[in-house]
Structure 1
Amino acid sequence: MTEIVDHTVTHSTFVLEHTYPVSPERVFAAWASKQAKTPWFVALPEGASVVEPLDLDFRVGGKERLAVSMADGVEIVYEGCYQDIVSDRRIVATTQMYLNRKPMSVTVATIELTPIEDGTRLVLTEQGAYLDGLDEPKYREAGTRDQLASLARYLKKSS
C-alpha cells in the first residue's frame, strides 16, 4: 500500500522596518562580508550549535549557506542566492530552508536601505512559500525580527 502524504503550502508576505543610527553604507557593509555578517546573522538560541559555518559569496548570482543544529537535535539548513545588489541601497535574495533535509520554505527577501536624517531606514519584505507545515510565516517573521535586532546590537558595538 502506498503512503498518502498531504503536501501543503502556505503563502505569506511580511514587511519589517527598522532604523539604525548609522549610514546606509555601514548597514550595507554588515550584510556584504562573512566577517561582518556572521556575528549578527548567526545569533543562535541557547543550546544550538553551528554544523556548517556561514559561507558567503556576496555578489549577484553568489550563494550563501549555513547549517545549524538546534538543542533538540533538529538540523536546519539555510541556502540563499543573491539576485540583485545595488550598493548601499538594495539587496534581493532567494532563499531555501530545510528541516532535517526536507524542504521547509522558499522565499524572496528584499532589503531596502534609505538614508534618513539620523541614519538609515531599513525595510525588509519577505514573500514566502512555507511547505508541508514544517515552517510557518509567524516563526520566520519572528526570527527575522530577532536578526534585525541582532544587527542593531552589532552596529552599536562596532561603532
Structure 2
Amino acid sequence: MGGRRDDPGLRVGGVERMRFGPKSRPDLMSEGRFLDIVMGERIVSAGTMHRDNIRISATLCTVELTEDVSGGTQVKLTDQSAYLDGSEKPKDRQSGWGKIFEHLGKHLSAGATGDRTKMEGL
C-alpha cells in the first residue's frame, strides 16, 4: 500500500490528512485533528476515514507514553472507532495499527544504529 501524508501540523488544532491504499488506486482518505498534546505524555486526535469520498469510520484516538521498568518508553494506543458502512471491521484497524507500529519499530531501530538511510526510506 502506498500513501501520501500532508503536513501533519502536530499541534493542538492541527490537521492531518493522508491518502493511502493500493499504489494503483489510493482510494482511502484519512482526515484528523489534534485535540490534546502533552509532550512526552499523550496525543489525542479525532478523525474520519473515507473510501471514494464516502465516510466509512469516525475515530477518537489516544496515544499515551509512560516510562517502563527498563527506562524505555511504553506506548499505549486506544482507538475508539465507529464503523459506519460495514466495509471496515475492528480487525482491519488492528492490522493497520500493527503495520504502523512495525514501521515505527524499524525507524527507531535504525535511529539507534545511526543508519539514516533506513530511517528516510520508511
> 1:149/1:69 Cα in 2 relative to 1: closer, same or farther (>3 Å)?
closer
Offset of 1:134 from its aligned partner? Answer: 2.2
Instruction: Select which of 17, 23, 44 maps to 1:65.
Output: 17
Answer whether contact 2:17 2:31 (CA < 8 A) is retained: yes
Q: How many residues end up aligned between the 2 structures?
A: 111
Question: Is the aligned partner of 1:90 residue 2:42?
Answer: yes
Which residue among 98, 101, 105 is the counterpart of 2:57?
Answer: 105
Q: Which runs of 5+ in 2 are unaligned?
A: 113-122
Do residues 121 (structure 1) and 74 (structure 2) align?
yes
RMSD: 1.5
**AA aligned opposite 1:123:** K
Structure 1 gap segments, 5+ residues each: 1-44
CA shift at 1:73, angstroms?
2.4
Which structure has the bigger radius of gyration? 1
Matching residue's letter, 1:53: R
Q: Detail structure 1 runs of 4+ shifted over 3 Å in the superposition.
A: none
Which secondary structure state, in structure 2, belongs to the residue aligned with residue 55 of structure 1?
Answer: coil
- Aligned in 2, Cα 1:74/1:53: closer, same or farther, shift over 3 Å? closer
TM-score by length of 2: 0.83
What does residue 158 of structure 1 align with?
111
1:149 aligned onto 2:102: yes
Alignment partner of 2:6: what SS?
strand
User: Structure 2 counterpart of 1:108, which letter?
Assistant: L
Contact kept? 1:55, 1:66, Cα under 8 Å: no
TM-score computed with the length of structure 1 as normaliser: 0.65
More contact order relative to length (CA 8 Å, sep ≥ 6): 1
Percent of aligned pairs with the same amino acid: 34
